[in-house]
Chain A
Amino acid sequence: MTDPGSWPDSDRSLCDRISRADAAALNELIARDYAAADLLARAAAAAGADIGESVALAWQQLIGDVARHSVTDGLRGALLEQVIAVLDDRELLDTTQVAVLPRPVFIPPDDSWAGWWADDPAEWPPGSVLTQGQILGALRRVPVGRRVLLVLRDAARIPAPEAQAVVRISPAQQTALLDETRQDFVAAVDRELAGDQVAGASIAAAVDAPVSTGRRTGIQASDVTCDVIVGLIGRWLDADMDESDSDAYEQHLLFCPPCLIQAGKTRLALAALGNAPAARPGDDLRLRLAESLGRDLI
Protein backbone atom coordinates (compact mmCIF):
# COMPACT_ATOMS: atom_id res chain seq x y z
CA MET A 1 0.00 0.00 0.00
CA THR A 2 1.20 3.49 -0.71
CA ASP A 3 1.23 6.23 1.84
CA PRO A 4 -2.15 7.98 1.70
CA GLY A 5 -0.17 11.19 1.64
CA SER A 6 0.98 10.27 -1.86
CA TRP A 7 -2.53 9.98 -3.26
CA PRO A 8 -3.40 12.10 -6.23
CA ASP A 9 -5.37 15.10 -4.98
CA SER A 10 -8.18 14.20 -7.35
CA ASP A 11 -8.59 10.79 -5.68
CA ARG A 12 -8.51 12.23 -2.20
CA SER A 13 -11.20 14.73 -3.15
CA LEU A 14 -13.32 12.06 -4.86
CA CYS A 15 -13.11 9.82 -1.80
CA ASP A 16 -14.17 12.61 0.51
CA ARG A 17 -17.05 13.65 -1.70
CA ILE A 18 -18.31 10.13 -2.38
CA SER A 19 -18.26 9.28 1.31
CA ARG A 20 -20.47 12.34 1.77
CA ALA A 21 -22.91 10.86 -0.81
CA ASP A 22 -21.99 13.31 -3.56
CA ALA A 23 -23.71 11.91 -6.67
CA ALA A 24 -21.64 14.04 -9.02
CA ALA A 25 -18.41 12.66 -7.57
CA LEU A 26 -19.65 9.11 -8.00
CA ASN A 27 -20.56 9.79 -11.61
CA GLU A 28 -17.18 11.41 -12.17
CA LEU A 29 -15.39 8.35 -10.85
CA ILE A 30 -17.52 5.99 -12.94
CA ALA A 31 -16.88 8.04 -16.06
CA ARG A 32 -13.14 8.07 -15.35
CA ASP A 33 -12.50 4.46 -14.39
CA TYR A 34 -15.26 2.29 -15.81
CA ALA A 35 -13.45 1.68 -19.10
CA ALA A 36 -10.31 0.41 -17.37
CA ALA A 37 -12.31 -1.97 -15.19
CA ASP A 38 -14.28 -3.25 -18.16
CA LEU A 39 -11.17 -3.85 -20.25
CA LEU A 40 -9.39 -5.63 -17.40
CA ALA A 41 -12.39 -7.88 -16.81
CA ARG A 42 -12.70 -8.73 -20.49
CA ALA A 43 -9.01 -9.48 -20.67
CA ALA A 44 -8.77 -11.57 -17.51
CA ALA A 45 -12.05 -13.48 -17.51
CA ALA A 46 -12.70 -16.82 -19.11
CA ALA A 47 -14.42 -16.75 -22.47
CA GLY A 48 -18.18 -16.34 -22.07
CA ALA A 49 -17.96 -15.20 -18.44
CA ASP A 50 -20.48 -12.72 -17.05
CA ILE A 51 -18.33 -9.61 -17.25
CA GLY A 52 -20.95 -6.98 -16.47
CA GLU A 53 -22.00 -8.45 -13.14
CA SER A 54 -18.40 -8.98 -12.07
CA VAL A 55 -17.48 -5.40 -12.84
CA ALA A 56 -20.56 -4.15 -10.98
CA LEU A 57 -19.62 -6.23 -7.93
CA ALA A 58 -16.11 -4.83 -8.04
CA TRP A 59 -17.52 -1.30 -8.08
CA GLN A 60 -19.78 -2.16 -5.16
CA GLN A 61 -16.82 -3.41 -3.16
CA LEU A 62 -14.87 -0.27 -3.94
CA ILE A 63 -17.66 2.11 -2.99
CA GLY A 64 -18.22 0.16 0.20
CA ASP A 65 -14.53 0.58 1.01
CA VAL A 66 -14.74 4.29 0.25
CA ALA A 67 -17.75 4.64 2.57
CA ARG A 68 -15.80 2.86 5.31
CA HIS A 69 -12.76 5.07 4.63
CA SER A 70 -10.70 1.94 4.12
CA VAL A 71 -9.27 2.81 0.69
CA THR A 72 -5.65 3.75 1.14
CA ASP A 73 -4.43 3.62 -2.46
CA GLY A 74 -5.33 5.24 -5.73
CA LEU A 75 -8.98 4.61 -6.56
CA ARG A 76 -8.38 3.12 -9.99
CA GLY A 77 -5.84 0.67 -8.65
CA ALA A 78 -8.18 -0.28 -5.83
CA LEU A 79 -11.02 -0.83 -8.30
CA LEU A 80 -8.91 -3.01 -10.56
CA GLU A 81 -7.73 -5.02 -7.57
CA GLN A 82 -11.40 -5.65 -6.80
CA VAL A 83 -12.09 -6.69 -10.40
CA ILE A 84 -9.49 -9.43 -10.20
CA ALA A 85 -10.63 -10.42 -6.69
CA VAL A 86 -14.26 -10.73 -7.81
CA LEU A 87 -13.37 -12.76 -10.89
CA ASP A 88 -11.24 -14.98 -8.69
CA ASP A 89 -13.98 -15.40 -6.08
CA ARG A 90 -16.48 -16.28 -8.78
CA GLU A 91 -13.96 -18.65 -10.41
CA LEU A 92 -14.18 -16.72 -13.63
CA LEU A 93 -10.50 -16.00 -14.20
CA ASP A 94 -9.25 -17.34 -17.49
CA THR A 95 -7.25 -20.51 -16.90
CA THR A 96 -6.92 -21.46 -20.55
CA GLN A 97 -3.42 -22.35 -21.58
CA VAL A 98 -2.26 -20.27 -24.50
CA ALA A 99 0.15 -21.09 -27.25
CA VAL A 100 3.64 -19.74 -26.83
CA LEU A 101 4.03 -16.58 -28.86
CA PRO A 102 7.01 -16.27 -31.15
CA ARG A 103 9.80 -14.12 -29.83
CA PRO A 104 12.14 -12.20 -32.13
CA VAL A 105 14.99 -14.37 -33.35
CA PHE A 106 18.47 -12.91 -33.37
CA ILE A 107 21.70 -14.06 -34.97
CA PRO A 108 23.55 -16.38 -32.59
CA PRO A 109 27.07 -15.85 -31.22
CA ASP A 110 30.13 -16.49 -33.39
CA ASP A 111 28.77 -14.30 -36.16
CA SER A 112 29.94 -10.78 -36.90
CA TRP A 113 26.34 -9.63 -36.50
CA ALA A 114 25.52 -11.72 -33.42
CA GLY A 115 22.53 -10.27 -31.62
CA TRP A 116 21.08 -8.63 -34.72
CA TRP A 117 17.84 -9.74 -36.32
CA ALA A 118 17.96 -13.18 -37.91
CA ASP A 119 14.59 -12.58 -39.58
CA ASP A 120 13.41 -9.03 -39.97
CA PRO A 121 10.03 -8.30 -38.36
CA ALA A 122 7.11 -7.99 -40.73
CA GLU A 123 5.65 -4.52 -41.16
CA TRP A 124 1.99 -3.86 -40.52
CA PRO A 125 0.02 -2.44 -43.42
CA PRO A 126 0.32 1.36 -43.52
CA GLY A 127 -2.47 3.06 -41.61
CA SER A 128 -3.34 -0.06 -39.61
CA VAL A 129 -5.98 0.69 -36.99
CA LEU A 130 -6.72 -2.04 -34.48
CA THR A 131 -10.34 -2.80 -33.67
CA GLN A 132 -11.52 -3.55 -30.15
CA GLY A 133 -11.95 -7.16 -31.22
CA GLN A 134 -8.36 -7.36 -32.42
CA ILE A 135 -7.04 -5.73 -29.23
CA LEU A 136 -8.97 -8.14 -27.02
CA GLY A 137 -8.06 -11.04 -29.28
CA ALA A 138 -4.39 -10.15 -29.03
CA LEU A 139 -4.61 -9.75 -25.25
CA ARG A 140 -6.13 -13.19 -24.92
CA ARG A 141 -3.18 -14.73 -26.74
CA VAL A 142 -0.91 -13.51 -23.90
CA PRO A 143 -0.67 -15.62 -20.70
CA VAL A 144 -3.24 -14.34 -18.23
CA GLY A 145 -0.82 -13.09 -15.58
CA ARG A 146 1.14 -11.06 -18.10
CA ARG A 147 -2.12 -9.95 -19.71
CA VAL A 148 -3.30 -8.47 -16.43
CA LEU A 149 0.01 -6.70 -15.88
CA LEU A 150 -0.14 -5.23 -19.39
CA VAL A 151 -3.66 -3.86 -18.92
CA LEU A 152 -2.83 -2.46 -15.49
CA ARG A 153 0.32 -0.68 -16.58
CA ASP A 154 -0.27 0.25 -20.22
CA ALA A 155 -4.03 0.62 -20.53
CA ALA A 156 -5.09 1.70 -17.03
CA ARG A 157 -1.79 3.52 -16.39
CA ILE A 158 -1.56 2.21 -12.85
CA PRO A 159 1.77 3.01 -11.19
CA ALA A 160 3.93 -0.01 -10.48
CA PRO A 161 3.52 0.15 -6.67
CA GLU A 162 -0.28 -0.02 -7.03
CA ALA A 163 -0.11 -2.74 -9.68
CA GLN A 164 1.93 -4.76 -7.18
CA ALA A 165 -1.18 -5.15 -5.05
CA VAL A 166 -2.87 -6.95 -7.94
CA VAL A 167 -0.11 -8.96 -9.60
CA ARG A 168 2.10 -9.54 -6.52
CA ILE A 169 5.24 -8.62 -8.44
CA SER A 170 7.69 -5.98 -7.26
CA PRO A 171 7.96 -2.78 -9.30
CA ALA A 172 11.51 -3.66 -10.39
CA GLN A 173 10.39 -7.08 -11.64
CA GLN A 174 7.39 -5.54 -13.34
CA THR A 175 9.66 -3.38 -15.46
CA ALA A 176 11.54 -6.31 -16.93
CA LEU A 177 8.45 -8.48 -17.27
CA LEU A 178 6.58 -5.66 -18.94
CA ASP A 179 9.31 -5.38 -21.59
CA GLU A 180 8.79 -9.03 -22.52
CA THR A 181 5.03 -8.83 -22.30
CA ARG A 182 4.86 -5.83 -24.60
CA GLN A 183 6.76 -7.80 -27.22
CA ASP A 184 4.41 -10.74 -26.66
CA PHE A 185 1.51 -8.38 -27.27
CA VAL A 186 3.07 -7.14 -30.51
CA ALA A 187 3.50 -10.76 -31.64
CA ALA A 188 -0.13 -11.39 -30.70
CA VAL A 189 -1.26 -8.40 -32.75
CA ASP A 190 0.80 -9.75 -35.65
CA ARG A 191 -1.31 -12.89 -35.47
CA GLU A 192 -4.57 -11.00 -35.15
CA LEU A 193 -3.75 -8.91 -38.21
CA ALA A 194 -2.81 -12.07 -40.07
CA GLY A 195 -6.21 -13.49 -39.16
CA ASP A 196 -4.79 -16.52 -37.38
CA GLN A 197 -7.13 -18.48 -35.17
CA VAL A 198 -6.22 -18.63 -31.50
CA ALA A 199 -4.14 -21.76 -31.13
CA GLY A 200 -5.10 -24.59 -28.86
CA ALA A 201 -3.54 -25.51 -25.56
CA SER A 202 0.19 -25.68 -25.52
CA ILE A 203 2.60 -24.45 -22.91
CA ALA A 204 1.35 -21.77 -20.56
CA ALA A 205 4.08 -19.27 -19.95
CA ALA A 206 3.73 -18.31 -16.32
CA VAL A 207 4.56 -14.95 -14.87
CA ASP A 208 8.15 -15.95 -14.49
CA ALA A 209 11.05 -14.15 -12.96
CA PRO A 210 12.63 -11.51 -15.18
CA VAL A 211 16.19 -11.86 -16.30
CA SER A 212 17.30 -8.36 -15.56
CA THR A 213 15.96 -5.36 -13.76
CA GLY A 214 18.73 -2.94 -14.62
CA ARG A 215 17.74 0.63 -15.27
CA ARG A 216 20.85 1.65 -17.14
CA THR A 217 22.55 -0.60 -19.62
CA GLY A 218 25.60 1.46 -20.44
CA ILE A 219 25.03 0.58 -24.08
CA GLN A 220 26.93 2.40 -26.77
CA ALA A 221 25.58 2.83 -30.28
CA SER A 222 28.86 1.45 -31.58
CA ASP A 223 28.18 -2.00 -30.24
CA VAL A 224 24.57 -2.19 -29.14
CA THR A 225 22.73 -5.07 -30.77
CA CYS A 226 19.12 -5.50 -31.79
CA ASP A 227 18.34 -7.97 -29.01
CA VAL A 228 19.25 -5.26 -26.49
CA ILE A 229 17.32 -2.61 -28.37
CA VAL A 230 14.15 -4.70 -28.53
CA GLY A 231 14.34 -5.21 -24.78
CA LEU A 232 14.47 -1.46 -24.28
CA ILE A 233 11.60 -0.39 -26.53
CA GLY A 234 9.10 -0.17 -23.71
CA ARG A 235 11.39 1.81 -21.47
CA TRP A 236 12.12 4.22 -24.29
CA LEU A 237 8.41 4.72 -24.87
CA ASP A 238 8.02 5.35 -21.14
CA ALA A 239 10.89 7.90 -21.24
CA ASP A 240 12.44 5.72 -18.56
CA MET A 241 16.01 5.67 -19.89
CA ASP A 242 18.94 7.81 -19.00
CA GLU A 243 20.40 10.18 -21.55
CA SER A 244 23.24 7.92 -22.64
CA ASP A 245 21.04 4.88 -23.22
CA SER A 246 18.41 6.94 -24.98
CA ASP A 247 21.04 8.42 -27.27
CA ALA A 248 22.38 5.02 -28.25
CA TYR A 249 18.89 3.62 -28.64
CA GLU A 250 17.74 6.37 -30.99
CA GLN A 251 20.89 6.23 -33.08
CA HIS A 252 20.38 2.51 -33.48
CA LEU A 253 16.82 3.00 -34.72
CA LEU A 254 18.06 5.31 -37.45
CA PHE A 255 20.52 2.84 -38.92
CA CYS A 256 18.55 -0.34 -38.23
CA PRO A 257 15.25 -0.44 -40.14
CA PRO A 258 14.10 -3.74 -38.53
CA CYS A 259 14.36 -2.26 -35.04
CA LEU A 260 12.58 0.86 -36.27
CA ILE A 261 9.75 -1.35 -37.52
CA GLN A 262 9.54 -3.22 -34.21
CA ALA A 263 9.61 0.00 -32.19
CA GLY A 264 6.88 1.46 -34.40
CA LYS A 265 4.70 -1.62 -34.01
CA THR A 266 5.14 -1.56 -30.25
CA ARG A 267 4.19 2.10 -30.08
CA LEU A 268 1.08 1.52 -32.19
CA ALA A 269 0.02 -1.58 -30.25
CA LEU A 270 0.38 0.11 -26.86
CA ALA A 271 -1.38 3.25 -28.08
CA ALA A 272 -4.27 1.11 -29.30
CA LEU A 273 -4.36 -0.70 -25.96
CA GLY A 274 -4.41 2.59 -24.07
CA ASN A 275 -7.25 3.89 -26.21
CA ALA A 276 -9.26 0.68 -26.47
CA PRO A 277 -12.97 1.48 -26.62
CA ALA A 278 -14.96 -0.01 -23.79
CA ALA A 279 -18.58 -0.76 -22.99
CA ARG A 280 -20.50 1.99 -21.21
CA PRO A 281 -21.74 1.37 -17.66
CA GLY A 282 -25.24 -0.01 -17.37
CA ASP A 283 -28.04 2.26 -16.17
CA ASP A 284 -28.43 0.31 -12.95
CA LEU A 285 -24.81 0.62 -11.84
CA ARG A 286 -25.18 4.00 -10.16
CA LEU A 287 -28.28 2.83 -8.30
CA ARG A 288 -26.46 -0.23 -7.03
CA LEU A 289 -23.55 1.88 -5.91
CA ALA A 290 -25.88 4.29 -4.17
CA GLU A 291 -27.24 1.34 -2.23
CA SER A 292 -23.68 0.45 -1.26
CA LEU A 293 -23.34 3.87 0.28
CA GLY A 294 -26.65 3.37 2.05
CA ARG A 295 -27.98 6.64 0.73
CA ASP A 296 -30.13 7.88 -2.10
CA LEU A 297 -27.94 9.80 -4.53
CA ILE A 298 -30.75 10.63 -6.94
Chain B
Amino acid sequence: MTFWKFLRGGAVSPFAGYAWESGKWVTSGMPHPCRAGVHACRAVDLPYWLNAELWQFELDGPISRAPHKVVAARGRAVARVAEWDPSAARDLAVACAVRTAGHAADELADSHLGDQAARLADAVTTTPPEAWASVAQGCSEAASAREAPRASRLCGYVLDAVGALEAYPVASSAYIAARAANQRSSAAEADPYVAERIWQANWLAARLGLEVTIP
Protein backbone atom coordinates (compact mmCIF):
# COMPACT_ATOMS: atom_id res chain seq x y z
CA MET B 1 0.00 0.00 0.00
CA THR B 2 1.25 3.47 -0.82
CA PHE B 3 1.51 6.17 1.79
CA TRP B 4 2.39 9.83 1.59
CA LYS B 5 3.82 12.52 3.79
CA PHE B 6 3.77 16.29 3.45
CA LEU B 7 7.07 17.90 4.38
CA ARG B 8 8.39 21.41 4.66
CA GLY B 9 10.75 22.71 2.01
CA GLY B 10 13.96 20.71 1.90
CA ALA B 11 12.17 17.46 2.81
CA VAL B 12 12.00 18.44 6.49
CA SER B 13 9.36 16.98 8.80
CA PRO B 14 6.92 19.76 9.76
CA PHE B 15 7.08 19.13 13.50
CA ALA B 16 10.04 16.91 14.33
CA GLY B 17 12.32 18.90 12.04
CA TYR B 18 13.91 15.73 10.65
CA ALA B 19 15.51 16.13 7.21
CA TRP B 20 14.61 13.10 5.10
CA GLU B 21 17.01 11.68 2.55
CA SER B 22 15.33 10.11 -0.45
CA GLY B 23 15.51 6.31 -0.33
CA LYS B 24 17.13 6.04 3.11
CA TRP B 25 15.31 3.81 5.59
CA VAL B 26 14.75 5.36 9.00
CA THR B 27 13.99 3.29 12.08
CA SER B 28 12.24 4.99 14.94
CA GLY B 29 11.57 2.45 17.63
CA MET B 30 8.18 1.30 18.79
CA PRO B 31 5.57 3.29 16.87
CA HIS B 32 3.16 5.42 18.88
CA PRO B 33 0.93 7.97 17.18
CA CYS B 34 2.16 11.54 17.72
CA ARG B 35 5.12 10.49 19.88
CA ALA B 36 7.34 7.95 18.20
CA GLY B 37 7.63 6.24 14.86
CA VAL B 38 7.50 7.28 11.23
CA HIS B 39 4.29 9.19 10.59
CA ALA B 40 2.68 9.23 7.18
CA CYS B 41 -0.83 9.34 5.78
CA ARG B 42 -3.25 7.72 3.41
CA ALA B 43 -4.66 9.59 0.43
CA VAL B 44 -7.82 10.45 2.36
CA ASP B 45 -5.70 12.06 5.09
CA LEU B 46 -3.76 14.36 2.77
CA PRO B 47 -5.91 17.52 3.16
CA TYR B 48 -5.25 17.60 6.90
CA TRP B 49 -1.49 17.89 6.52
CA LEU B 50 -0.92 20.17 3.50
CA ASN B 51 2.59 21.57 3.28
CA ALA B 52 5.24 22.60 0.78
CA GLU B 53 6.41 19.20 -0.47
CA LEU B 54 4.59 15.91 -0.93
CA TRP B 55 6.54 12.65 -0.82
CA GLN B 56 5.57 9.08 -1.47
CA PHE B 57 6.55 6.92 1.50
CA GLU B 58 7.14 3.24 2.08
CA LEU B 59 6.52 1.88 5.57
CA ASP B 60 7.76 -1.33 7.12
CA GLY B 61 6.66 -3.38 10.10
CA PRO B 62 3.34 -3.21 11.91
CA ILE B 63 1.41 -0.13 10.89
CA SER B 64 -0.70 1.67 13.47
CA ARG B 65 -3.70 3.42 11.93
CA ALA B 66 -5.01 6.59 13.56
CA PRO B 67 -7.96 8.70 12.35
CA HIS B 68 -5.84 11.01 10.20
CA LYS B 69 -2.47 9.29 9.99
CA VAL B 70 -0.57 6.04 10.06
CA VAL B 71 2.54 5.25 12.09
CA ALA B 72 5.21 2.60 11.59
CA ALA B 73 8.52 1.70 13.16
CA ARG B 74 10.40 2.09 9.86
CA GLY B 75 9.89 4.19 6.80
CA ARG B 76 11.58 5.82 3.89
CA ALA B 77 10.88 8.65 1.51
CA VAL B 78 10.60 6.99 -1.89
CA ALA B 79 10.08 9.90 -4.26
CA ARG B 80 8.82 13.41 -4.26
CA VAL B 81 5.46 13.94 -5.96
CA ALA B 82 6.52 16.49 -8.55
CA GLU B 83 2.94 17.39 -9.44
CA TRP B 84 2.48 19.02 -6.00
CA ASP B 85 4.13 22.36 -6.61
CA PRO B 86 3.26 26.01 -5.91
CA SER B 87 0.97 26.08 -8.91
CA ALA B 88 -1.01 23.06 -7.71
CA ALA B 89 -1.15 24.51 -4.21
CA ARG B 90 -2.51 27.77 -5.56
CA ASP B 91 -5.10 25.93 -7.63
CA LEU B 92 -6.26 23.97 -4.59
CA ALA B 93 -6.51 27.16 -2.58
CA VAL B 94 -8.66 28.76 -5.27
CA ALA B 95 -10.77 25.60 -5.52
CA CYS B 96 -11.32 25.77 -1.77
CA ALA B 97 -12.33 29.42 -2.01
CA VAL B 98 -14.84 28.45 -4.70
CA ARG B 99 -16.18 25.73 -2.42
CA THR B 100 -16.45 28.22 0.43
CA ALA B 101 -18.42 30.57 -1.78
CA GLY B 102 -20.61 27.63 -2.80
CA HIS B 103 -21.45 26.88 0.80
CA ALA B 104 -22.22 30.55 1.36
CA ALA B 105 -24.46 30.71 -1.71
CA ASP B 106 -26.32 27.58 -0.62
CA GLU B 107 -26.90 29.08 2.81
CA LEU B 108 -28.10 32.33 1.27
CA ALA B 109 -30.57 30.38 -0.86
CA ASP B 110 -31.76 28.41 2.15
CA SER B 111 -32.29 31.72 3.93
CA HIS B 112 -34.58 32.98 1.16
CA LEU B 113 -31.90 35.29 -0.20
CA GLY B 114 -31.96 33.88 -3.71
CA ASP B 115 -30.85 37.09 -5.42
CA GLN B 116 -27.77 37.34 -3.24
CA ALA B 117 -27.03 33.65 -3.75
CA ALA B 118 -27.18 34.16 -7.52
CA ARG B 119 -24.96 37.24 -7.35
CA LEU B 120 -22.32 35.40 -5.36
CA ALA B 121 -22.42 32.33 -7.59
CA ASP B 122 -22.20 34.52 -10.67
CA ALA B 123 -19.23 36.44 -9.30
CA VAL B 124 -17.37 33.20 -8.62
CA THR B 125 -17.92 31.87 -12.12
CA THR B 126 -17.30 35.08 -14.07
CA THR B 127 -14.73 37.12 -12.13
CA PRO B 128 -11.31 36.53 -10.55
CA PRO B 129 -11.14 35.87 -6.78
CA GLU B 130 -10.15 39.42 -5.87
CA ALA B 131 -13.52 40.57 -7.15
CA TRP B 132 -15.47 38.14 -4.96
CA ALA B 133 -14.80 39.96 -1.75
CA SER B 134 -16.93 43.01 -2.42
CA VAL B 135 -19.81 40.83 -3.60
CA ALA B 136 -19.50 38.62 -0.51
CA GLN B 137 -19.40 41.71 1.68
CA GLY B 138 -22.65 42.98 0.17
CA CYS B 139 -24.29 39.58 0.55
CA SER B 140 -23.15 39.38 4.16
CA GLU B 141 -24.72 42.75 4.93
CA ALA B 142 -27.92 41.79 3.18
CA ALA B 143 -28.11 38.54 5.12
CA SER B 144 -27.48 40.37 8.35
CA ALA B 145 -30.25 42.86 7.56
CA ARG B 146 -32.62 39.93 6.94
CA GLU B 147 -31.60 38.39 10.25
CA ALA B 148 -29.88 35.44 8.63
CA PRO B 149 -26.75 35.34 10.78
CA ARG B 150 -25.49 32.00 9.54
CA ALA B 151 -25.64 33.12 5.91
CA SER B 152 -23.94 36.36 6.89
CA ARG B 153 -21.20 34.42 8.65
CA LEU B 154 -20.64 32.11 5.70
CA CYS B 155 -20.30 35.13 3.41
CA GLY B 156 -17.68 36.36 5.86
CA TYR B 157 -15.79 33.13 5.29
CA VAL B 158 -15.67 33.97 1.59
CA LEU B 159 -13.87 37.19 2.50
CA ASP B 160 -11.47 35.16 4.63
CA ALA B 161 -10.93 32.61 1.86
CA VAL B 162 -10.09 35.33 -0.64
CA GLY B 163 -7.74 36.99 1.82
CA ALA B 164 -6.06 33.67 2.58
CA LEU B 165 -5.16 33.17 -1.07
CA GLU B 166 -2.43 35.78 -0.78
CA ALA B 167 -1.65 35.81 2.92
CA TYR B 168 -1.78 32.24 4.17
CA PRO B 169 -0.68 28.73 3.19
CA VAL B 170 -3.00 26.48 1.23
CA ALA B 171 -3.77 24.60 4.45
CA SER B 172 -5.61 27.71 5.66
CA SER B 173 -7.78 27.84 2.55
CA ALA B 174 -8.62 24.16 2.89
CA TYR B 175 -9.51 24.63 6.53
CA ILE B 176 -11.76 27.63 5.84
CA ALA B 177 -13.72 25.62 3.28
CA ALA B 178 -14.13 22.71 5.70
CA ARG B 179 -15.18 25.06 8.47
CA ALA B 180 -17.69 26.74 6.16
CA ALA B 181 -19.14 23.37 5.22
CA ASN B 182 -19.43 22.50 8.88
CA GLN B 183 -21.45 25.63 9.59
CA ARG B 184 -24.17 25.13 7.02
CA SER B 185 -27.56 25.06 8.72
CA SER B 186 -28.54 21.95 6.80
CA ALA B 187 -26.24 19.49 5.14
CA ALA B 188 -26.74 16.21 3.36
CA GLU B 189 -23.70 14.67 4.98
CA ALA B 190 -23.55 13.36 8.53
CA ASP B 191 -20.23 15.13 9.06
CA PRO B 192 -19.89 18.07 6.66
CA TYR B 193 -16.38 18.87 7.87
CA VAL B 194 -15.13 15.40 7.01
CA ALA B 195 -17.09 15.40 3.77
CA GLU B 196 -15.34 18.60 2.70
CA ARG B 197 -11.98 17.07 3.55
CA ILE B 198 -12.87 14.05 1.42
CA TRP B 199 -13.74 16.37 -1.45
CA GLN B 200 -10.30 17.93 -1.05
CA ALA B 201 -8.65 14.50 -1.00
CA ASN B 202 -10.38 13.62 -4.25
CA TRP B 203 -9.24 16.92 -5.76
CA LEU B 204 -5.66 16.11 -4.78
CA ALA B 205 -5.84 12.55 -6.07
CA ALA B 206 -7.15 13.72 -9.42
CA ARG B 207 -4.77 16.64 -9.80
CA LEU B 208 -1.69 14.74 -8.69
CA GLY B 209 -2.55 11.56 -10.55
CA LEU B 210 -2.58 9.41 -7.43
CA GLU B 211 -3.87 5.94 -8.21
CA VAL B 212 -6.10 5.58 -5.20
CA THR B 213 -9.71 5.24 -4.26
CA ILE B 214 -10.86 7.67 -1.61
CA PRO B 215 -13.35 5.90 0.67
Contacts and interface: CB of A to CB of B under 8 A. Distances in A.
Contact of B66 (A221, A239, A243): A243
A247 B15 CA distance: 12
Contact of A255 (B33, B34, B66, B171): B171
Counting chain A CB atoms within 10 Å of each CB, the highest count among B14, B50, B175 belongs to B175
A247 B156 contact: no
Given A221-B48, A239-B35, A241-B34, A247 B69 contact: yes
B178 A222 contact: yes
A24 to B, nearest CB: 34
Nearest to A220: B193
B215 interface: no
With most chain B CB atoms within 10 A of its CB, the pick from A221, A246, A254 is A254
Contact of B182 (A222, A251, A257): A222
A250 B15 contact: yes
Given A222-B178, A254-B50, A254-B169, A243 B153 contact: no
A216 to B, nearest CB: 13
B161 to A, nearest CB: 12
B144 to A, nearest CB: 12
B84 to A, nearest CB: 15
B121 interface: no
A255 B153 contact: no
Interface string B149-166: 000010011001000000
B68 A254 contact: no
A47 interface: no
B182 to A, nearest CB: 6
B179 interface: yes
A interface, how many residues as a size bin? Answer: 10 to 19
B10 interface: no
Contact of B68 (A239, A241, A251, A256): A251
Contact of A254 (B14, B66, B178, B179): B14
Contact of B175 (A239, A241, A255): A255
B69 A254 contact: no
Interface string B1-39: 000000000000011000000000000000001110000
Interface string B54-79: 00000000000011110000000000
B48 A257 contact: no
A255 B169 contact: yes
A112 B156 contact: yes
Interface of A: 112-113, 221-223, 239, 241, 243-244, 246-247, 250-251, 253-257
Given A250-B34, A251-B48, 4 more contacts: A239-B34, A247-B33, A254-B50, A257-B172
